[in-house]
Structure 1
Amino acid sequence: MPAAMTTLAELNAMPAGDFMAALAPVFENAPWIAEGVAAKRPFASLTALHKAMLSVIAEQPDDVQVAFLRGHPRLSPETLRKGTTAESTAEQTAAGIGALDEATIAKLTALNAAYDSKFGFPFILAVRRASLPTMLATFERRLAATPEAERAEALAEVQAISWMRLLDRVQPAPTGSLSTHVLDTVRAMPAAGLGVELWGRDASGQPICLESFTTDANGASGHDLLGQGRLRAGTYEWRYDTPTYFAARGYPTPARSFLGKVTVAFSVWNPEEHFHVPLLLTPGSYMTYRGS
């Protein structure tokens, strides 16, 4: 992965050649994609830049899109032995593809051969977000797809891979943030006075409490959290002190003890966006979703 990050401002100001060199690895063996957006600068966000790069692919005729997909390496130990791009090597190695047992290697080899024979390009998956069981299950499911549907899904995986690689290289615009809001559905009121913690992970991957607060009169965090460029892609947790909240409102121990402290884990894919997590709460159940 790149040793240093660049900013959007720096990227926008680079000579065209430097811009293309900086972004060439974002899409596998396809520097022409970065070349296709160099003249469209400046970009206000990574989201806008990525959308423009995807548009370059979408505008190509079918044969060019298929040739682009063929430029991706197989997911296999053999690929790692023979050598591929630095980005793909790092991603496949981190996913454990270089350390598979013989039975799994044989299964993966057979899946790759069947897939290549049917579709004419390698199986593509964003392995940074997929365990080995997920990868194999996805492989088997997609073998049953039509060529048109599979090409669309392969391009969707390219979209995910390229977005993660872009985040490796360029700092996102400081527009993202987090918030939460809790409704006590038994009392049909906002859950005011509820203790909440926001947890993430530090640079070494260890859990760390990032914010701690009590919900306001509207049952909300009161302000957006991790704004001004502090939000990063990754996994976070809201931890709600629901036992204390229900104890203060007169619920007996058996009623308030079923759930314990409610934890809602969620992923931030695009740190330029706002992520709002509502919680609908009773002593015996809760419901959550991504709000607006």
Structure 2
Amino acid sequence: MCIVFVYNGANETESDYSLILISNRDEHFERPAQCMSPWKEDSTVYGGTDLEPGCGGGTWLAVSPHRRKLGLLLNLPGVKKENAKSRGKIVSDYVMSDMAVSDYIDFIHIYSKQCNEFVFLSLDFGNSTPKIETYNNATDELNEWSDTYLGFSNSLPNKPLKKVEAGKNKLKSICSRLNKIKDRSQLIDELLHLLQNKESHLPDDQLESRQPVLYKELSSIFVSIPIGKYGTRAHTIMLLSKSGHIDLIEISMQSPIDVGNPHWERSEFQFDLL
């Protein structure tokens, strides 16, 4: 389970930000991964790397300031396909390509059908108004979103979980108050607090049907299942100002993860779009 929220402030004249993205990565603690860093394959790309054998070094989230694009993957719980292809490869190949997302989806169409079900989120911030799109291989739909506040998790994009709706409301409260560069520090603190929210959002019939065993534990934005060695193990925050400055922050559990007392490490990167 993972979750992402997006603020599209391009048309809000009082805001200094054209785009804010915040995300949690939920994963098994024992699954090996490299924290966010520039990639050896392409130093213009920043993201984590899945080190699980057989997964081809894919990722759950990556951003290329050079190409002005971001890709993120959310899984859709369901039937597991035999010999399924790596979903993380979809993100890594996208951010290292110069293809528009519509062309890229056409290019990977056959491959995507061999993957377990997923939602792929793409952000194109090459223009003053960011382009936000989702593709899912369950219904084979590519949709563009223009809402100011967006949220997606482990359900079809047009059928959000209750915790997604709650998180969008919290994001709106934050971004409507702290949309000036001078408030950057407080903005980041409150966005992180949102990602760490452990409040349960039930009842949620959709979540219960998708996850009948663990739906209670998965009903919060921050997920913690110590006995299962599973939960939120990375937070990502990206701020894009209207002047073209990017703040990219990842706060992740340091491996090997001590379930009882995890150590969180913070990485920060800054870029100016030319």
Smaller-chain TM-score range? under 0.3
Structure with greater contact order relative to length (CA < 8 Å, sep ≥ 6): 2
Which is richer in strand? 2
TM-score norm. by structure 1 comes to 0.23
Give the number of the structure whose residues are more often helix, by fraction: 1
- Larger-Rg structure: 1
